[in-house]
Amino acid sequence: MVSPTLILFTGDVRVNEQLALTATYTIFLREHNHLARELKKLNPHWSGETTYQEARKILGAFQQIITYRDFAPLVIGDEATMKYLSPYEGYDESIDPGIANVVSTAAFRFGHLMINPKLFRLDENDQEHP
């Protein structure tokens, strides 16, 4: 009998190595598909590609909100967030949307350090479950 192993294919090969990362990818994948279904109901004339890309844009916005509004203040504090991450004032084509390699490398390293090697199960009272 073959074991029921789930192998996910994403943009990151480590997705199958860490349960929290697997769960995060799964949640965002399912939300993308949910958005695509709802958008197709509202826009039945859209092609599959248009539906996919529009859902992708919305999900990207969700991820930005979570990162800048919710996550960054917890990591660097409210004051630093306000100082270094100015409010969005609209699209500016003169700004390079790229990211410096040093920034992305530092961010990835920081993210890797945040992953706990143990994942604890909690009960309904947030107490460790054996």
The model's pLDDT over 72-109, given as tens digits with 9 standing for 90+, comes to 888 888 888 888 887 778 888 898 877 777 666 776 67
pLDDT at 1: 43
Give the span between the Cα atoms of 68 and 106, in whole angstroms. Answer: 17
Confidence band of 48 (pLDDT split at 50, 70, 90): very high
Is the pLDDT confidence value at 3 over 50? no
Q: Go through 53-73 and write b for each residue having 16 or more CB atoms within 10 A of its CB, e for each that does not.
A: ebbeeebeeeeeeeeeeeebe
Task: Determine if residue 45 is labeled as part of a ligand binding site.
Answer: no
Is the pLDDT confidence value at 46 over 50? yes
Is the pLDDT confidence value at 28 over 50? yes
Q: Which pTM value belongs to this model?
A: 0.68
Is the pLDDT confidence value at 71 over 80? yes
Tokens read off for 91: 């699209």
